Amino acid sequence: MPRASRSRSASRSSPIAGRSSAPSNRRGGPLNSVADMQIALTEAQLEASTRAEEIKELKRELATMMNQQNRRRRRAFPATTPEDRAVVLAGKKFTVTCQMWIPDHAFFAKEYDEDNPDERLEELIASLPLSVQDMRDSYHVTRLFFTAMSNQRSAAAHRVQMVCGSTIFGCQATELTDITRRAKSEIFGELLEFDEEKGTYARLPQLLCIDGPGSKPNRVFRNPIVLAIAKVTLFGPSMVLKDGKKLNTPILCANLWSLTEVTAGLIAFSAVLARWAISPDDSLETEGATSRIKYFEDFLFYREYINRGLAQRKKAITGLFYEWNQVLFPEMFERRYEDASDEEVLEAFHELEDEEAEEPEAGDED
């Protein structure tokens, strides 16, 4: 008897007491047949599907709101004063004409040591407006400069690959814009001199060289593709997409930067972009995620190779500058090379095919 009493008491206190364990349809009635069960299952599935769509829609709305918020933040941050705008211009010019990447923020803020000079740091400091050269440790200045560098690389890469690529490389647009086709292209692989056995790419591939006789050092950086990339970077897509006339407007990078002659950095920048544009890499980084091409190291190698050739008055390099300046800055070219002291440069340019230049000392492969 006591056991039965406890059972009835537990039944009365249970929160589910009196609730039927049999399933019911949405109207609350019991499911007495297979048909009723199928209808209930269908209704439940529809309800779950509707909820899933609602969740997806909410996620899309949230993503849109976050993107808009981030855009507002990005727009609100950059150049708000003349000094800020000068820093942004300096960062973009430095990227194209001097150094494509900076190792890190610490290097940017590094104190210059006159007893142990660093040419790259000295070049960086010289690129900045005088009013902010002593403010390199400022987070605001650092972020402005790095953002400007990143934006300039992205803009140039987009122009070369997505906007002008088919014209520059003489191929279908999708061969460049479709990363799968780009990665499988045998032609691009040959231009980049991909070694299937080693899985590496030549550092000075045929892509960078003009066809013809003579050793590779005499032909490197002379491929019209590399020069076309420099044109697009400095003067815009119209240089290759239309009649090739430079539009004399303030939006042109060369005008904004007061650039009047070719630099070793510009040639190296254009060469790196040429290789990346037809590589299997999706984004332009210091090292290719797929190809493993060390773009930053190769940029430094190209620039050093060119600067060393200039310092040693190598005919291949002085002739290279003669050719590039003649195409990119014809007005300045006439004034620069009209002096008698520069006649040897003109003579060197015409004698390039007869010269056997020295091969680069650094390794040719990545």
Q: Which tens digits make up the pLDDT trace of 283-331?
A: 999 999 999 999 999 999 999 999 999 999 998 899 999 999 999 988 7
Q: What is the pLDDT of residue 357?
A: 47
Q: Which tens digits make up the pLDDT trace of 69-97?
A: 655 444 444 457 788 888 999 999 999 99
Q: What is the pLDDT of residue 155?
A: 93
% pLDDT > 70, the chain:
74
Tokens of 173: 């647009």
Handedness of CA 329, 335, 340, 341 (dihedral sign): negative
pTM: 0.71
Tokens of 101: 């990447």
Q: What is the pLDDT of residue 338?
A: 59
pLDDT (average), residues 331-358: 53
pLDDT (average), residues 52-58: 79
Query: Under a CB-based contact definition with an 8 Å cutoff, are residues 333 and 349 in contact?
Result: no
Tokens of 190: 């040959």
Q: Which tens digits make up the pLDDT trace of 116-150?
A: 888 888 888 888 888 888 888 888 888 999 999 99
Question: d(Cα 276, Cα 170) in Å, to the nearest integer?
Answer: 16
Mean of pLDDT over the chain: 79
Tokens of 208: 């960078």
Q: What is the pLDDT of residue 129?
A: 84
Distance from the Cα of residue 365 to its chain's centroid: 22
Q: What is the pLDDT of residue 245?
A: 53
Q: What is the pLDDT of residue 14?
A: 41
Tokens of 237: 């897509």
Question: d(Cα 102, Cα 119) in Å, to the nearest integer?
Answer: 13
Q: Helix H segments across the chain?
A: 2-13, 34-76, 82-97, 105-109, 119-127, 139-158, 165-169, 173-177, 179-184, 186-191, 216-219, 224-235, 238-241, 253-256, 264-277, 295-311, 315-328, 330-336, 343-350
Question: d(Cα 39, Cα 310) in Å, to the nearest integer?
Answer: 84
Q: What is the pLDDT of residue 215?
A: 64
Higher pLDDT, 2 or 30: 30
Tokens of 359: 């091969």
Q: What is the pLDDT of residue 353?
A: 42
Please state, as a whole number, how many other Cβ atoms lie within 10 Å of the Cβ of residue 225.
21
Question: d(Cα 314, Cα 255) in Å, to the nearest integer?
Answer: 30
Please check the confidence at residue 352 and state whether its pLDDT lies above 60: no
357 closest CA partner among 218, 245, 220: 218
Q: What is the largest CA-CA distance in the chain?
A: 126
Q: Which tens digits make up the pLDDT trace of 220-257?
A: 999 999 999 999 999 888 888 865 555 444 357 888 88
Higher pLDDT, 76 or 341: 341
Q: What is the pLDDT of residue 299?
A: 97
Q: What is the pLDDT of residue 73?
A: 47
Q: How many residues does the chain have?
A: 366
- Please state, in angstroms and as integers, the Cα–Cα distance from residue 276 to each residue in 272, 288, 292, 295, following that order: 6, 8, 11, 8
Q: Which tens digits make up the pLDDT trace of 263-272?
A: 999 999 999 9
Higher pLDDT, 202 or 362: 202
Burial of 279 (0-12, 13-18, 19+ CB in 10 A): buried
Task: Spell out the domain ranges in the chain.
Answer: 79-153, 164-354
Q: What is the pLDDT of residue 249?
A: 42
% pLDDT > 90, the chain:
42
Please state, as a whole number, how many other Cβ atoms lie within 10 Å of the Cβ of residue 34.
8
pLDDT grade for 115, boundaries at 50, 70 and 90:
confident
Question: d(Cα 309, Cα 179) in Å, to the nearest integer?
Answer: 36
Handedness of CA 158, 164, 166, 172 (dihedral sign): positive
Please state, as a whole number, how many other Cβ atoms lie within 10 Å of the Cβ of residue 238.
16
pLDDT grade for 365, boundaries at 50, 70 and 90:
low
Higher pLDDT, 52 or 125: 125
Question: d(Cα 205, Cα 359) in Å, to the nearest integer?
Answer: 13
Q: What is the pLDDT of residue 40?
A: 80
Burial of 16 (0-12, 13-18, 19+ CB in 10 A): exposed
The CA R_g of the chain, rounded to the nearest whole Å, is 32
